[in-house]
Structure 1
Amino acid sequence: MGASDFSRLPHIGESVRRKEDYRFLTGAGQYTDDITLAAQSYAVFVRSPHAHAKINSINTDAAKAAPGVLAVFTGADVAADKINGLPCGWLITSTDGQPMKEPTHPILAQGKVRHVGDQVAMVVALTQQQARDAAELVEVDYDVLPAVVNVADAAAGAVPGAVVHDEAPDNRCFQWAIGDKAAVDAAFAGAAHVTRLDLVNNRLIPNAMEPRAAIGAYSRASDEYTLYVANQNPHVERLLLTAFVMGLPEHKVRVIAPDVGGGFGSKIYLYAEDVCVTWAAKKLNRSVKWVAERSESFVSDAHGRDHVSHAEMAMDKDGKFLALRVHTHANLGAYLSTFSTVVPTILYATLLAGQYGTPQIFAQVDGWFTHTVPVDAYRGAGRPEATYLIERLVSRCAWEMGLSQDEIRKRNFITQFPYQTPVALQYDTGDFHACMNKAQELADVAGFEARKAASAAKGLLRGIGYSSYIEACGLAPSNIAGALGARAGLFEAGEVRVHPTGSVTVFTGSHSHGQGHETTFAQVVAARLGIPVENVDIVHGDTGRVPFGMGTYGSRSLSVGGSAIMKALDKIEAKAKKIAAHLLEASDADIDFQGGEFIVRGTDKKIPFAQVALTAYVPHNYPLDKLEPGLNETAFYDPTNFTFPAGTYICEVEVDPATGATRVDRFTAVDDFGVIINPMIVEGQVHGGLVQGIGQALLENCVYDRETGQLLTGSYMDYAMPRADDFPNFQLGHVCTPCTHNPLGSKGCGEAGAIGSPPAVINAVLDALRPLGVKDFDMPASPHRVWQAIQNAKA
């Protein structure tokens, strides 16, 4: 079945209400913290108050003697049990052919601490309060050392003695590049105009509604472990935990990720706390539970972004792009997180073509260790960083060339597909002009000047900003990813189990943490089989029940996970046709399946799907010589290419020049997600992404003290999270060019809003401030930063 045929089926394109919401809204959800196991104990971690220090000694005597304490573990105990450090899941090879520096990441610090929040000891007690009280009694003697937290300082070697790991004495993890440098240099030499831009993509702290949590359990009877964990990909968690860290047989470990209250990338990884509670469960022969406090999450959950870049665009006299040159310093933090190295390389630099037919591109990325929380994928994962750079640069090009922001984009849009970019990716389909045109129509760009005049009458500055993004979703074929350094496959699995009455249970390797899989996947199955949506249940998040899958991230759930389910449904339909043919006394080649019925082509002979299902399990009249009983099929899907959602976002802001306060007055987002299964869920995903992206542009900013390495934005008192009243009503629109290489025609929608919105906002603010002589400033556009930029322009 092709994507065009699939898109016309019932249930596809319908805004079916989410099946899972009743459970959540009535308090019947089950999150990790809701689980209480037999003989449950509680863990609390002692964390470093210093960014960089030598551990001289750890005195645990008082803590061990405290009421209710079962054990206190330190790095010495970890080393004695030969527990390995946390692995990095993607190997980057430097431009000199050497592998990246990959220092050990111990689950409890050994010898040194390397960032504020680094875990030094774990206290386990009968109650959480007892564990907290005892943790206060652990005495650690530190010898404080110099710390470097700013990536530019790390690159410049500006802090003597601030070496994060001995294996990387200059703090460089890797130097990586892509593109034809000689061709780019030649294009720049012949350019009529070159636009240059320096920018910072600010560090973000993820704040899912549910903090991370984990419960480790162990059964002596079966020698089996169970880990309950708030995680986005339980099979990968199990693989890393068993094969790389604890050296356990994989079949002896079950990982269960129940309801998860948001992830945004921060719950993809194997964290030290997950290993610690699993390890301790056997040592204590009782379950061990840990739930992060919000302030603890600020210094223990992987952060996002944190790039410092220089970009240059070479153009001809008409503003046509000739070549792009980029150099980025990426802050990796104190340790390599699971996917940290791929974010600023493969997922970032390969998207620097954007929507534009730039003939030549060269990008170099240097990854640096610093004394900060590790940095990894956060909603968009490399794609927001690439889009911010290219879209900020393109608007700057427009202003310098005397062109409008839309005109320079239209002159350079790619129009022929498939399109091979100079940075490895090949876009299969798209219509960038259609997205731009629809966005301009919905945004009423024609009325902008009148609105600008109205703002001026109130003493306010109004600006308009454009962003035309493209992202790569679904990740690449496993063999290509492996050649690029991936240490895992990138396929997905789906099992479709048809029950005797015709209802269906689907087991998917994808994981839902707010995306609505229990509804969307059910719509896909119901559409194919011609049954009610309510007759389909979706099971995920349990390595003991579902086939090996790769979880949810990178907007891959429907395009990869859904495609695996479609392949399993193909097998179901093929077998069901053989059963139906036997019952109808026809050849299976003459059987059509539509609307939930098997029909002998050219006749009125037909039987419903439920009858075939019952026959499969009650095989009294069944071709047993040709078919096994039952109707249960499993399939794996490995994508042949990324999918490429794209769109144009237009933002209008009002700025008060007296205070620097900026208000988003209008925001229009037009996206091409290919075939959309559930428009309501897609709109919710876009809304959420826009809030996070605009939040980065205007509010959010993780700040460390440059001298001490202390986290200055360690709570909501200092870290500004966006709220509903920070936003206008979003105007959304869609264009559809179906993906050409998956059976659903879908492209992915979960990250788009966070990718396309930051440059649209900042371009709008800069457009408003251009008459005052302001050319640039870095995110976030807080009132103080905007006001300071205005004052600097006056000086």
Structure 2
Amino acid sequence: MGQFGIGQGVRRLEDQRFLTGEGRYTDDITLPRQCYAAFVRSPFAHAVITGIESEEAAGQPGVLGIYTAQDLQAAGVGDIPCLALMKGRDGRQVDTPPYPALARDRVHHVGDAVVMVVAETAQQARDAADLVEVDYDPLDAVTDVGAALAAEAPKVQESLSGNLCLDWAQGNETDVEAAFAKADRIARIELVNNRVVVNSMEPRALIADYDPQEEKFTLHTGSQGLFRLKDQFCRMIFGIPEDKLHIITPDVGGGFGMKIFAYPEQVACLFAARELGRPVRWTGERNESFQSDTQGRDHQTTAEMALDKEGHFLGIRISTLANMGAYLSNFAPYIPTGASTQMYSGLYRIPAIHAEVKCVLTNTVPVDAYRGAGRPEASYVMERLVDEAARVAGLDRREIRLRNFIRPEDLPYDTGLNRIYDSGDYPRLLQEACRQVDWDNFETRRAESRSRGMLRGIGLASYVEACGGIGEEEARISLDPDGGVTLVIGTMTNGQGHHTAYAQLLHDKFGLPLEKIRMVQGDSEKVHKGGGTGGSRSLLMGGISAQRAADRVIETARQIAGDLLEAAPDDIEFDDGLFRIAGTDRTLELAEIAQRTHQGGGNGLTPIEETDGYTAEALTFPNGCHVCELEVDPDTGCSKILDYVVVDDFGTVVNPMLAAGQVHGGVAQGLGQALLEHTVYDEEGQLITASFMDYTMPRADDVPDVRLTLVQDMPCKTNPMGVKGAGEAGAIGAPPAIMNALMDALAPAGVKRIDMPATPEQVWRVLQAAS
């Protein structure tokens, strides 16, 4: 491997321009004659729109157009489609309500966009939007997923028969019933997986443009990938050929799943650009993000474990109510069903599993994929349930896991839920994490805390997730005139450091300095296909595509080197940027071939450009163990994490520094959900936590020093690079590890249950109730 190649902790190539203010985000782009959009949003969670008065607003300075749902409908603009048309246990497809870009007749959640105002400046658009008068006839609303299923509950969507849009199940119910019938003990828990707002650093933004001569749209927008959006806008919403939409995604300041999707503002602004013949831009303000970005999680779950007298797992049954919000966002029904339940086996041998999920509509912001997308929800259920099983069986929490883990000799292991684990040593990772945190001497530390009037707890979570395996990835590499290379790739970095990782892979192939390896992404007229970023797929799919395209470039260059050196191509060796006739000192640099192929002038050579791709044959399964130790002040309810250890198996790690950054960020997000973050609606559907004054994001002093160990001697057996994926792991392991530690601290005080977020107030209240 090269000096800066696979396995090296290379500093990110991207950071120089980001840290010096040279990043180029959507809001940095300025187009000639651009104008600005503002949206009038519903103040009600559920209401009939009885009238819209916009005459005064239309007469304001700079106003160019005011549009409603009727305008879009008259122009043939379609609704935003749900892409995950799951089938329920009765074989019926999920009920999908209409999801228009601007509300038609009724609004269904606070923040639902009703009217779009376009003006010469952003301030003029906002001022005019304030003058639009929308008359509403308020209706009863429902925000709690359990209450939405009650017979007397208000119907969220008038076009559907009820609020239950999908009743889904997986597993063998008969086997599970038999397992519970013979169980010696049964563990049972009820959990809430709280709703969270994504809060990426860069809010959603866009510029929509239209060329009437070519009848072609251009959309600049932050995204996690181009081609799914392109398909939705062209085929499903506007009914235009794919070559009539050009999507450009520049730098993106965080996505975490939320920027995968098509949104109403994109649709409405594309329509307005065509109507006005001018670019229309919109940048969401933070309060709009709270009201209109897809949100995450929001499950109520009951889980049960059947155990024999030795504490072996016999079966589990899990029932979840999943809040979808007021509309079905792009992948929403898939997240709690296919993405989550197929991971309910965790890392354990469980002979019988049955899971059922009811997807329910409420008068809240739509929910969709958020970092981990179903796998954190599954891990949280399983690891909290395993802790309860240890209590019921009277076993140490480590022992019950070791007793039930899938062992290395069991691999490959079919979980029975369409998942086959190929590699790993789960007991080893748990034992190493517990060794690092000195678990065996914890009771001494607990006693010391008790002497100071504090409550101390320790908890662990052994997680597994499924990565990659989504679609095909393609890479195109050209040999540039200066001897460098340009990689064109369909993945889409949102801040993860893709350029650095790909450059390291290509450094090993070409022997080039990292600065001579360039990357092009985010332009649908330069990139031909690609699945974007999501599901930790980029490196394990895009990386292989890049390596294969590099091999093609080298082979083409070898043929040219053979001609120039007057030797058979099979006799030409290539290493570290140099072609050599085997066994001689006759050489030719890659840079010289680059120059000759770009010279033209009738030399018969043309610039080298090669394309190759990769379609995953199987999913990959990164896994690991998180251990958290914390202390609680019973007088204030404040929790402080004292130690946090992670031992991860990501298979082959291209850049340990990038992987560590992903883990640290994921732990911070998981900690935020466990202890701080909560999206709260009142009974009328008003969003109570609609700003950073009310919604608590983790701060620097909330996040502990994460001690990370990467175990790299178990490469993935189903991925040619041995890569398993790393992007979401931290957010999967952190919530159960933290909450298990917190329960360990609170249980001696008589606390039986606490849900996320375990804020100081919540901790104080459960302690008062227990005492």
Asked whether the two chains share a fold, i.e. TM above 0.5, the reply is yes
Partner of 1:481: none
Selected match of 1:90 from 65, 84, 91: 84
Partner of 2:267: 275
Contact 2:4–2:514 (8 Å) recurs in 1: no
Selected match of 2:384 from 392, 398, 401: 392
1:704 aligns with 2:681: yes
Output one character per residue of 1:527-577: Cα deviation in whole Å (capped at 9) or x when no partner.
Answer: 111111111011111112112111111111101111221221232233233
1:315 aligns with 2:307: yes
Selected match of 1:66 from 60, 64, 89: 60
Tell me how far apart the structure 1 counterparts of residues 113 and 363 of structure 2 sit (CA, whole Å): 14
Partner of 1:734: 710
Tell me how large the CA RMSD over aligned residues is. Answer: 1.7
Supply the AA of the counterpart residue of 1:420. D
Tell me how far apart the structure 1 counterparts of residues 109 and 213 of structure 2 sit (CA, whole Å): 40
Contact 1:9–1:528 (8 Å) recurs in 2: no
Tell me how far apart the structure 2 counterparts of residues 539 and 105 of structure 1 sit (CA, whole Å): 34
Corresponding residue SS for 1:732: strand
Output one character per residue of 1:146-199: Cα deviation in whole Å (capped at 9) or x when no partner.
Answer: 11111111233452xx11223432211111111111111111111111111111
Partner of 2:761: 784
Tell me how far apart the structure 2 counterparts of residues 148 and 65 of structure 1 sit (CA, whole Å): 38
Deviation at 1:602, TM superposition (A): 4.9
Corresponding residue SS for 1:136: helix
Selected match of 2:112 from 93, 101, 118: 118
1:187 aligns with 2:184: no
Assess, with a 3 A threshold, how the Cα gap between structure 1 residues 599 and 314 changes in structure 2: closer, same or farther.
Answer: farther
Assess, with a 3 A threshold, how the Cα gap between structure 1 residues 8 and 759 changes in structure 2: closer, same or farther.
Answer: farther
Partner of 1:754: 731
Corresponding residue SS for 1:344: helix
Partner of 2:503: 522
Corresponding residue SS for 1:579: helix
Supply the AA of the counterpart residue of 2:193. N
Deviation at 1:731, TM superposition (A): 0.7
Selected match of 1:576 from 554, 557, 566: 557
Output one character per residue of 1:250-305: Cα deviation in whole Å (capped at 9) or x when no partner.
Answer: 11211111111111111110101011111101101111111111011100000000
Corresponding residue SS for 2:628: strand
Output one character per residue of 1:449-478: Cα deviation in whole Å (capped at 9) or x when no partner.
Answer: 2322221121111100100000111144xx
Deviation at 1:604, TM superposition (A): 4.8
Contact 1:495–1:547 (8 Å) recurs in 2: no
TM-score in terms of structure 2 length = 0.97
Tell me how far apart the structure 2 counterparts of residues 350 and 8 of structure 1 sit (CA, whole Å): 39
Selected match of 1:259 from 245, 251, 264: 251
Deviation at 1:584, TM superposition (A): 3.9
Tell me how far apart the structure 1 counterparts of residues 475 and 151 of structure 2 sit (CA, whole Å): 49
Supply the AA of the counterpart residue of 2:145. V
Q: Which of 166-175 and 114-123 deviates more?
A: 166-175
Contact 1:583–1:621 (8 Å) recurs in 2: no
1:261-660 to structure 2, matched below 5 A, reads 261-415=253-407, 416-476=410-470, 490-617=471-598, 629-660=606-637
Corresponding residue SS for 1:290: strand
TM-score in terms of structure 1 length = 0.94
Partner of 2:746: 769
Contact 1:438–1:733 (8 Å) recurs in 2: no
Output one character per residue of 1:567-608: Cα deviation in whole Å (capped at 9) or x when no partner.
Answer: 212322332332333334444344443333334445555433
Assess, with a 3 A threshold, how the Cα gap between structure 1 residues 200 and 21 changes in structure 2: closer, same or farther.
Answer: same
1:160-171 to structure 2, matched below 5 A, reads 162-171=154-163
Assess, with a 3 A threshold, how the Cα gap between structure 1 residues 685 and 552 changes in structure 2: closer, same or farther.
Answer: same
Tell me how far apart the structure 1 counterparts of residues 199 and 83 of structure 2 sit (CA, whole Å): 23
Assess, with a 3 A threshold, how the Cα gap between structure 1 residues 174 and 22 changes in structure 2: closer, same or farther.
Answer: same
Supply the AA of the counterpart residue of 2:618. N
Selected match of 1:109 from 83, 103, 111: 103
Output one character per residue of 1:216-260: Cα deviation in whole Å (capped at 9) or x when no partner.
Answer: 111223222111111111222122111110112211211111111
Tell me how far apart the structure 2 counterparts of residues 10 and 20 of structure 1 sit (CA, whole Å): 15
Tell me how far apart the structure 2 counterparts of residues 8 and 37 of structure 1 sit (CA, whole Å): 43
Assess, with a 3 A threshold, how the Cα gap between structure 1 residues 620 and 385 changes in structure 2: closer, same or farther.
Answer: same
Supply the AA of the counterpart residue of 1:38. P
Supply the AA of the counterpart residue of 1:579. I
1:128-207 to structure 2, matched below 5 A, reads 128-159=122-153, 162-207=154-199
Q: Which runs of no fewer than 5 residues in structure 2 stay unpaired? A: none
Deviation at 1:492, TM superposition (A): 1.6
Tell me how far apart the structure 1 counterparts of residues 663 and 688 of structure 2 sit (CA, whole Å): 31
Partner of 1:670: 647
Output one character per residue of 1:631-677: Cα deviation in whole Å (capped at 9) or x when no partner.
Answer: 21112221111111100000001011122111111111111111111
Tell me how far apart the structure 2 counterparts of residues 583 and 363 of structure 1 sit (CA, whole Å): 65
Contact 2:2–2:507 (8 Å) recurs in 1: no
Deviation at 1:369, TM superposition (A): 0.9
Corresponding residue SS for 1:345: helix
Deviation at 1:726, TM superposition (A): 0.7
Partner of 2:691: 715
Supply the AA of the counterpart residue of 1:642. L
Supply the AA of the counterpart residue of 1:578. Q
Output one character per residue of 1:507-529: Cα deviation in whole Å (capped at 9) or x when no partner.
Answer: 11011111011111111111111
Q: Which of 572-581 and 48-57 deviates more?
A: 572-581
Corresponding residue SS for 2:231: helix
Assess, with a 3 A threshold, how the Cα gap between structure 1 residues 606 and 191 changes in structure 2: closer, same or farther.
Answer: farther
Contact 1:579–1:616 (8 Å) recurs in 2: no
Q: Which runs of no fewer than 5 residues in structure 1 stay unpaired? A: 1-6, 477-489
Supply the AA of the counterpart residue of 1:738. P
Corresponding residue SS for 1:712: coil
Q: Which of 692-701 and 600-609 deviates more?
A: 600-609
Q: How many residues get paired?
A: 768
Contact 1:661–1:782 (8 Å) recurs in 2: yes
Output one character per residue of 1:49-78: Cα deviation in whole Å (capped at 9) or x when no partner.
Answer: 111111111111111111111110001101
Tell me how far apart the structure 2 counterparts of residues 620 and 277 of structure 1 sit (CA, whole Å): 48
Assess, with a 3 A threshold, how the Cα gap between structure 1 residues 670 and 157 changes in structure 2: closer, same or farther.
Answer: farther
Tell me how far apart the structure 2 counterparts of residues 564 and 120 of structure 1 sit (CA, whole Å): 44
Corresponding residue SS for 1:251: helix
Supply the AA of the counterpart residue of 1:530. G
Assess, with a 3 A threshold, how the Cα gap between structure 1 residues 778 and 251 changes in structure 2: closer, same or farther.
Answer: same
Assess, with a 3 A threshold, how the Cα gap between structure 1 residues 208 and 10 changes in structure 2: closer, same or farther.
Answer: closer
Contact 1:615–1:621 (8 Å) recurs in 2: no
Contact 1:340–1:377 (8 Å) recurs in 2: yes
Deviation at 1:98, TM superposition (A): 1.1
